[in-house]
């Protein structure tokens, strides 16, 4: 954190989206003009566009809504909430500390150098453009009880967005949020523990907020809340707090009652309900019509053999659906 403190201070000066001279910036954060130029290059490596215009100085491409620790901590919680602006992976940070964390502990970041999605895929994580949020949850019922957790978390996220006035967000089994058939967010659930013992679970969310539409390295159609909300992006800190509160409530509900309270809520939000899809499980491809989920969190497909349930695989739309 200390190694990045000067760059973060510089970013706070530039966050208003206005021009600032190198001399003024140097005075504000206590470094030389030459050091400002060096730190600007470091900031650009975090995925931020900064312009330099002779006679005017430096300017971010757009205003930057940086996360605010006070806003994040506005609602009292028993478990810790860490804001670590620059991190490798919020999930990995918590996974390495499960033996010392309280259930419900949260890590949130501005930038991930090694963000990841399902199956080890890279999760593109430019500074301040999205929400990178992870929570540790201790599940005393063990590993087997964790099935369906990504669905529960997904429902909680969409319902929290709805309460903030965001409409039209849907769910893709088992771990994605969609809007108009484009990916808006992904959920990654990682587990550790022994069979028959306590399950240590880390739930990660990457939610696209205002990422540049030209961002490279994403291998599928995607969208952002900025596009969904016609440019009116919710305050990032308030949004993060709303999502944390929603997870707290939903995970307690899940521990007490399992999936029973979530099946109908999921089916209401299922992006693929009633649509023809392919379910890819390793080398197998199963075609069918999505019928929602069951109380184990399995996806239900209507195939030529009737309605069948599946607990693994990835769904993709069949052409023309």
Mind telling me the catalytic residues?
Answer: 118, 183, 318
Q: Is residue 215 marked as binding?
A: no
Q: Is residue 118 marked as binding?
A: yes
Residue holding tokens 């900031």? 43
Residue 217 corresponds to which tokens in the numbers above?
A: 């390295």
Q: Is residue 303 marked as binding?
A: no
Alpha-carbon torsion, ordered 223, 227, 232, 238, to 10 deg: -10
Q: Is residue 89 marked as binding?
A: yes
Q: Is residue 98 marked as binding?
A: no
Q: Is residue 97 marked as binding?
A: no
CA distance readout (Å), 134 to 8, 152, 250, 275, 319:
22, 15, 15, 31, 35
Residue 85 corresponds to which tokens in the numbers above?
A: 């602006």
Q: Is residue 117 marked as binding?
A: yes
Beta pairing, strands 106-109 & 86-87: unpaired
User: Which residue ranges make up the annotated binding site?
Assistant: 89-91, 112, 116-118, 183
């Amino acid at each position: 954190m200390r190694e990045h403190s000067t760059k973060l201070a510089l970013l706070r000066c530039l966050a208003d989206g206005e021009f600032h001279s190198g001399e003024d910036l140097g005075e504000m954060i206590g470094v030389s003009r030459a050091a400002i130029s060096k730190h600007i290059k470091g900031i650009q490596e975090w995925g931020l566009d900064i312009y330099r215009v002779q006679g005017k100085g430096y300017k971010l491409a757009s205003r930057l809504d940086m996360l605010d620790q006070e806003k994040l901590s506005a609602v009292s919680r028993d478990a810790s909430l860490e804001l670590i602006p620059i991190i490798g992976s919020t999930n990995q940070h918590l996974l390495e500390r499960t033996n010392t964390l309280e259930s419900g502990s949260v890590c949130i970041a501005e930038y991930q150098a090694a963000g990841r999605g399902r199956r080890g895929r890279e999760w593109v994580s430019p500074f301040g453009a999205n929400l990178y949020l992870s929570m540790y949850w201790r599940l005393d019922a063990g590993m087997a009880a964790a099935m369906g957790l990504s669905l529960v978390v997904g429902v909680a996220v969409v319902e929290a967005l709805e309460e903030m006035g965001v409409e039209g967000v849907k769910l893709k089994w088992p771990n994605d949020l969609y809007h108009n058939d484009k990916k808006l967010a992904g959920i990654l659930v990682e587990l550790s523990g022994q069979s028959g013992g306590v399950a240590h679970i880390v739930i990660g969310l990457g939610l696209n907020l205002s990422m540049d539409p030209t961002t490279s390295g994403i291998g599928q159609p995607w969208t952002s809340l900025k596009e969904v909300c016609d440019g009116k992006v919710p305050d990032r800190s308030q949004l993060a707090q709303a999502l944390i509160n929603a997870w707290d409530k939903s995970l307690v509900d899940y521990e007490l009652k399992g999936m029973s309270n979530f099946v109908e809520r999921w089916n209401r939000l299922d992006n693929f309900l009633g649509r023809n899809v392919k379910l890819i499980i390793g080398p197998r491809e199963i075609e069918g019509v999505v019928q929602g989920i069951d109380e184990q969190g399995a996806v239900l497909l209507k195939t030529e053999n009737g309605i069948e349930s599946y607990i693994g695989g990835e769904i993709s739309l069949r052409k023309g659906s």
